[in-house]
Amino acid sequence: MMDTLFFASFDPLHDVPKLCILCSSHPPVFSYDYRALDRSGESRKTSGYCCARCAARLLKKLELAESQEWAEEEAALENDEFDITDFRKHRLAAFPGSGRN
């Protein structure tokens, strides 16, 4: 399972927390749903309301997870002696700071 992240707007007139549930510092501007596998392979879901700053952090978390997934896929293909030249070019273009050239 790949990590997923969904953001949505919400009606501020309904029951929502006064502060972001992630940082407890700013008013929420999005509802979110983040799903990922934990280290034991179990599916984990977090959801709630977050501020714009925490939304950016969640997006960065998703980016890092995807970058890691691509790097692992590339390594597996390379171990199986596939030509990974195009895959590597694409990965490095998408995630320039992902290391390993």
Tell me the whole-structure pTM to 2 decimals: 0.81
Contact between 60 and 32 under an 8 Å Cβ cutoff? The reply is no
In order of 36, 52, 59, 75, 88, the CA distances from 96 in angstroms are 23, 24, 16, 17, 11
**pLDDT mean over 16-32:** 95
Which pLDDT does position 99 carry in this prediction?
A: 64
Gap between the Cα atoms of 48 and 14, Å rounded: 14
Q: How many Cβ atoms are within 10 Å of 51's Cβ, its own excluded?
A: 20
Domain residue ranges of the chain, discontinuous segments joined by +: 4-94
- In this predicted model, what pLDDT tens digit does every residue of 45-101 receive, in sequence order? 999 999 999 999 999 999 998 998 888 888 898 888 888 888 888 888 888 877 655
Q: Give residue 16's pLDDT.
A: 87
87 vs 29, higher pLDDT: 29
